[in-house]
Structure 1
Amino acid sequence: MRPPPCDVWWARTDWLRPEHLTVLGAAESERLRRYRYPADRDRSALGAVLLRAVAARALGSAPGAVAVDRSCPSCPGSHGRPVLPGTGLYVSTSHSGAFVVVAATRAGPVGVDVEEEPSRLGTDLRVGALGPREAAGTTDAAGFVRCWARKEALLKAVGMGITVPLAEVDLGPPGEPPRLRRFPGARPDQVYVTDLPAAEGYAGAVCVLAPGPVPVRHHDAGPLLHSGLFGEPSVTGGPVLSGGRVR
């Protein structure tokens, strides 16, 4: 029997509207007030809003009624990975540059990551993040961010974040389909990783801890974000998917 699908929802940061913020909880709103730069605040806000919208759609509830637990396992803060207690729905969110992405599935713990290509790629960063096989097959920034996104997605799914040396996580060179070759925190036969159809200048990946392959379905989040879930929409966002790829 095939695992349940993983739904990946894409949005652009300029789709954020004032009415979206009304569904956030007190802890989420307080966290947003601590951001120094508006662009960072808006990305985080839209990620929290989209996660609630996706969960509400799957659970048949209102976005503001979704209980999101972001407890950190290492401190009393509310900045851990999002958990929806008692729902059986696993979620993950990521944002970079102009894009926000949320993944949701019932197949197992999930991690998603999207990364914008850096304008410069230092040698130290490449050496510290890539294993020997990955480094040998990585010749440019596009390949590097693809490797990085794969690793981030896996670590999010496992619930570790970047708490282990990235060079110890081997998912293969960027020119090959991702496959777990080395990582002490997960069994290769219980890890499904796939690259996402990111826009030019970006790379993305999603990881589900389940015997794969897990069907991955991509969605434009515009209609969801500008639906009746948030009251009367102030503007309609345009499609972010075109020909099977993000644009």
Structure 2
Amino acid sequence: MTPPPEELVRPGECHVWTARAVSVRASGAPALLKLLDAGERARYEAFLRDEPRGLYLTAHALLRDLVGAQLDLDPAEPSFAAVCRTCTSGGHGKPVLPGSPLHLSLSHAGDQVAVALTYAGPVGVDIEEIGRVGDPPLTVLSAEERAAYDRLPAGERAGGFTRYWARKEAVLKATGDGLSVDPALLTVSAPDAPAALLSWAERAQPHPPVRLYDVPAPDDYAAAVAVLGDGCRVVRHEVAYDGDGVLRRPRRAGDGVLRRPRRAGD
């Protein structure tokens, strides 16, 4: 894949790509499957249903396409590792590219996937489908967040909770903690305010400064990206795979710049 110059990640930038999952019901998307390594293909085959297979395949093929383009490699060439802070069993955890300064993260929900790449620091991206679950698990909200949530009009609560959750997941992915940390310990800004990590209970300084950004997402989805370190320019791209496995760019989805995001303790 030869990307336009504006799709190459430069220092001080974080790029986020979103795409709709391919269907694997008919042919199994062989052009994308051939990009995966043996371990990825085994995990793909382990899914019992077509929908999660399509999400997994799209996310990992897109990650390979983007990393290959960024590093001028064949997409099948990069060798990824998964790092989990809470165990050593391997095969799961935050994806890393050993020996490279490029940081990466991926997420999927509903029929959408998201991939983030940056040189700015450890990164976490999360995309969530609004209203995917019935009654949201409000215990993941801090007291401050719950108070703001309760003030929302009934028709805005599903979207508000999903934005809270996407922001928290993005932070926990960036730090590498994942859900080993109770999300209620984090307090992020209210859904109608610019994204920010306001506090992290029980951790005075758990990591470098957290830069948290909302990411434009398709209708009925919320997405966020967190980067540890200096502030950066966030650029979002919307792409799609066609039937022959070629990555298309139907339109430039836009970008956003948050030069002075808030951090815990500001």
Please state which band the TM-score falls in when normalised by the shorter chain. Answer: 0.7 to 0.9
Bigger strand fraction: 2
Residue matched to 1:205? 224
Q: Which aligned runs of 4 or more in structure 1 are off by greater than 4 angstroms?
A: 185-189, 234-238, 240-245
Q: Distance in 1 between matches of 2:97 and 2:221?
A: 28
Q: 1:122 to 1:50 in 2, by over 3 A?
A: same
Give CA-to-partner distance per residue, 1:28-78, whole Å, 9 cap, x none: 111111112110111011111111111111111011111111244414231
In structure 2, runs of 5+ residues without a counterpart are 1-9, 257-266
Higher RCO (CA < 8 A, seq sep 6+): 1
**Aligned partner of 1:52 among 58, 64, 67:** 64
Q: 1:141 to 1:190 in 2, by over 3 A?
A: same
Q: Distance in 1 between matches of 2:58 and 2:204?
A: 31
Say yes or no: does 1:64 pair with 2:49. no
Report the TM-score, using the length of structure 1 for normalisation: 0.86
Say yes or no: does 1:192 pair with 2:208. no
**Aligned partner of 1:134 among 120, 125, 145:** 145
Report the TM-score, using the length of structure 2 for normalisation: 0.80
Verify the 8 A CA contact 2:84 2:176 in the aligned structure 1: no
**Aligned partner of 2:101 among 74, 88, 95:** 88
Verify the 8 A CA contact 1:131 1:169 in the aligned structure 2: yes
Q: Distance in 1 between matches of 2:46 and 2:227?
A: 31
Residue matched to 1:150? 167
Verify the 8 A CA contact 1:12 1:100 in the aligned structure 2: yes
CA RMSD of aligned residues (A): 2.5
Say yes or no: does 1:221 pair with 2:248. no
In structure 1, runs of 5+ residues without a counterpart are 227-231
Verify the 8 A CA contact 1:136 1:173 in the aligned structure 2: no
Q: Distance in 2 between matches of 1:113 and 1:65?
A: 25
Q: Distance in 2 between matches of 1:117 and 1:170?
A: 20
Residue matched to 1:12? 20
Which range moves more in the overlay, 146-155 or 78-87? 78-87
Residue matched to 1:229? none
Quote the sequence identity (%): 36
Q: 1:192 to 1:71 in 2, by over 3 A?
A: closer
Q: Shift of residue 238 of structure 1?
A: 6.4
Say yes or no: does 1:77 pair with 2:90. yes
Verify the 8 A CA contact 2:23 2:51 in the aligned structure 1: no
Q: Distance in 2 between matches of 1:65 and 1:85?
A: 13
